[in-house]
Structure 1
Amino acid sequence: MLSSIPLTRIIMLANVLVVTMAVVVLLTLPTPPARPGTATSGDPTRGPSRPPGPSASPSPTPGLPSAELPPPITASPEFARQVKANEAGTVPILMYHRITKKRLASIDRTPAQVRKELERLARDGYVPVTAREFATGRMDVPAGKHPVVLTFDDGHHSHFSLQADGTPAGDSAVGIIYQVARKYPGFRPVATFWINDHPFGLRERRDQERAVRWLVDRGFEVANHTWSHPHLPSLGKKQIAAQLARLERLLKKLGVPPSDTMALPFGAMPRKRSVVQSGKWHGTSYRFKGVFLAGAEPSVSPFVRRYDHRSIQRIQSNGKKGECRKWCSQYWLEWLNRHPRQRYTADGDPGRISVPRGLRGNIRSDRKHLVNAY
């Protein structure tokens, strides 16, 4: 698919580099102070037909852009050709950590950097979808547009907090997303937040519940990033299950449905990766439709044969210096603009998978009946 991408071995080494950098940075930085206030089993994309859309419609909020998707259309082969649809193309899944006015680590981003990147995505025709929507094949963005997944690890307080008037803080991740959505109406205000035991730096249960429910009710996804963010390869099977099940218990107490997705802390996969796909601990079970890594390239489409929901690639949000010269978001967004045929372009039709005729063989066998080739 990505003809100019280096060999798999080099990609894996880049992943290790990203993971190692994150381990060193996150283990050495101090914990930020707490802020007051504020399943389905089996293959996630298998089924008799393509799902019609997100599992639940977000609640509209006066004064904030809506996360509702546009009405679906019926795409003929000729229409798919006109919009240059390619739903076998690659999807950028961007990975963010802390958002700080002064960067203390290479993986930090400033509010200005996040805002600039999101505005670039909007201008380039990208429409955000959640990690859940990606993993379940529900990327029903308008025809001719490209899905992008915005993911935020660790539930840091810079990701979300509410001001006295009940609106998101302006320099928080959520605040910036809404600012860009106001400026670019086609930019859908959704993202995925993978949290640990103190979501968004909040200590009080009622504050945690308020924050999580606010996000989920407006179309954002809040899901599992383990209880205490350990290095999973260093743990035994029961310890890993406990980390995941304890976070699922917390989410349930906060009024959130079971997680469909999870992100590996530090991007580190245990040797027996089945334990992070599904399991049970003290009566609490989990089963994920998508497990996400830490980098370092766009993900293949969930409709193609190469797709593996057990290890989904992401891209670190960053510039092009040092180890990010060819592995982070600025490089890859430029690459995708130079290679538009490699990029996922939607047909606007939830019931079809539109691809150029030469790519129909790339589609998974259980999805062949949905192919709309031109």
Structure 2
Amino acid sequence: MKLQFSSFLFSSAVVIALANACSATSSSSQTDPQDSLKEVSTGIQTTDTTSTTVRDFSKENYSPNELGRVMVLEYHLIGYPEDRWRRTPENFRKDLQMLYDNDFYPVSVHAIASGELEVPAGKTPFAMTFDDSSAGQFRYIEKNGQLSIDPNCALGIMEEFKKKHKDFPITATFYVLPAIKPTLRLFAQPEYKKQKLEWLQKNGYEIGNHTWYHAQLSKLSDAEAQKHLAMFVKEIREFIPDYEVKSLALPLGMHAKNRALEETGEFEGLRYKHESVMLVGSATSVSPYSKKFSRLGIQRVQAGEHTENPENFMKSQIKHNTRFVSDGDPKTISAPEALKDEVNPALSKKYRFNWIKTPSV
């Protein structure tokens, strides 16, 4: 009870700042030309302008759109009661079931940042992220003299869901805090810090940088910003040596004064390098194949019962056919011909393009 109450106080204290950050960081990619593309019909034939492959999707029960939008889900507290920054275990299970039932497919943050998406045909990729390393995300309990993962913490729920649904290899990135107050420090069970980080590494989860102790980078000098990002790496490597931290989630969604330092920097000889930077916001991300995509400013969708939640985004994307739908071939980018101008032209060196013609009326 004390743990949850402390987490609640922290959540309440930052909610206003987070809300402001959401609007500040979401504006750059909240609107996209795809959002106005209504009802793209199932492709009858494809044209090939830069590739060597033409595929006919007219007999499939899906129409690929790999320039569609993707969701990177953002969670904070897992516990009771349901609140703006807290999801109950029951509602978290509901979220996973909704994603599964609507043909979403879990991928890593790295897969989205790099565009290396191996997603079954007809499925929509999404990534799962957790900020602040509170106890409800990863908790150990003793049962019959044995240490086990709490089935009602986020990790326990994901692992159980994965066992029941072998075709849903869920993973997540945990943006942890190694030097914050005890209720948020590396999942709030100090005796198990090393064990938990090792477990995440060994079982396909990612540990991401959230700064040394939730520092607002916009208020720091260049030297201080590098210190907070590098000290995070130093602390994590005390538990899991040589671990490569590849992703950063900006505390409160606030950028450093020198944004280049979000990607790479150095403090006392210790270098850090991030391949992706997560924002705090309420917006879906453009496709990794879009010319507007930036791996150093990836939008996220905050889970919860508020208006801009995953379910509402999903319904809108289904209605307007604006969500990413895979063609099943990681070497080919397939999308409606109407979106041809949205693709990153540099990708023609790596991928084949299939532009799907929509039937004339």
TM-score tier, shorter chain, comes to: 0.7 to 0.9
Q: Would you say the 8 A contact 1:22–1:266 is kept in 2?
A: no
Change in 2 beyond 3 A, CA 1:350/1:251: farther
**For residue 91 of structure 2, what is the aligned residue in structure 1?**
113
Q: Which runs of structure 2 are paired with 1:17-28 in the superposition (5 Å)?
A: 21=15, 23=17
Displacement of 1:20: 6.7
Cα distance in 1 for residues equivalent to 2:264 and 2:104? 32
Which amino acid is the alignment partner of residue 171 of structure 2? V
Alignment partner of 2:56: what SS? helix
Summarize the Cα distance change of 1:121–1:85 in structure 2 as closer, same or farther, 3 Å threshold: same
Structure 2 distance, partners of 1:195, 1:219, is 16
* CA contact 2:331–2:352 (8 Å) conserved in 1: no
TM-score (norm 1): 0.74
Is the contact made by 1:292 and 1:314 (CA closer than 8 Å) also made in structure 2? yes
Residues 226 and 359 of structure 1: is their aligned pair in 2 closer, same or farther, counting only changes over 3 Å? same
Cα distance in 1 for partners of 2:238, 2:58 equals 44
1:39-82 deviation digits (Å, cap 9, x = unpaired): xxxxxxxxxxxxxxxxxxxxxxxxxxxxxxxxxxxx86225983
Aligned length: 300
Q: Which residue of 180, 186, 189 corresponds with 2:167?
A: 186
- 2:176 maps to what in 1? 195
Deviation at 1:143, TM superposition (A): 1.1
Gaps of 5+ in 1: 1-18, 26-74
* 2:238 aligned partner, one-letter code: K
SS in 2 for 1:77: coil
Change (3 A) 1:108 1:348: same
SS at match of 1:342: coil
Partner SS for 1:155: coil
Q: Which residue is 2:223 aligned to?
A: 238
User: Match for 1:267: what amino acid?
Assistant: G
* In 2, Cα distance between equivalents of 1:309 and 1:316: 18
Instruction: Say which of 285, 291, 308 aligns to 1:305.
Output: 291
The structure 2 residue matched to 1:174, chosen from 140, 150, 155, is: 155
CA contact (8 A) 1:277 1:288 kept: yes
Q: By how many angstroms is 1:352 displaced? A: 1.9
2:17 partner letter: V
Which residue of the partner structure matches residue 332 of structure 1?
A: 313
Q: How far apart in 1 are the matches of 2:318 and 2:161?
A: 20
- Aligned pairs for 1:341-356 (under 5 A) are 341-356=321-336
In the alignment, is the contact (CA less than 8 A) between 1:251 and 1:258 conserved in 2? Answer: no
What SS does the aligned partner of 1:212 have? helix
Query: What is aligned with 1:130?
Result: 108
Q: Tell me, which stretches of 5 or more residues in structure 2 are unaligned?
A: 1-12, 20-52, 179-184, 357-361
2:70 counterpart residue number: 91
Distance 1:125 1:315 in 2: 18
The match for 2:209 is 224
> Partner of 2:17: helix, strand, or coil?
helix
> Which residue pairs with 1:269 in the alignment?
255
* TM value normalised by structure 2: 0.77
Q: Tell me what 2:28 maps to.
A: none
- State how far apart, in whole Å, the 2-side matches of 1:242 and 1:148 are: 32
Q: Which one has a bigger Cα radius of gyration?
A: 2
1:139/1:24 CA distance change after superposition, 3 Å:
closer
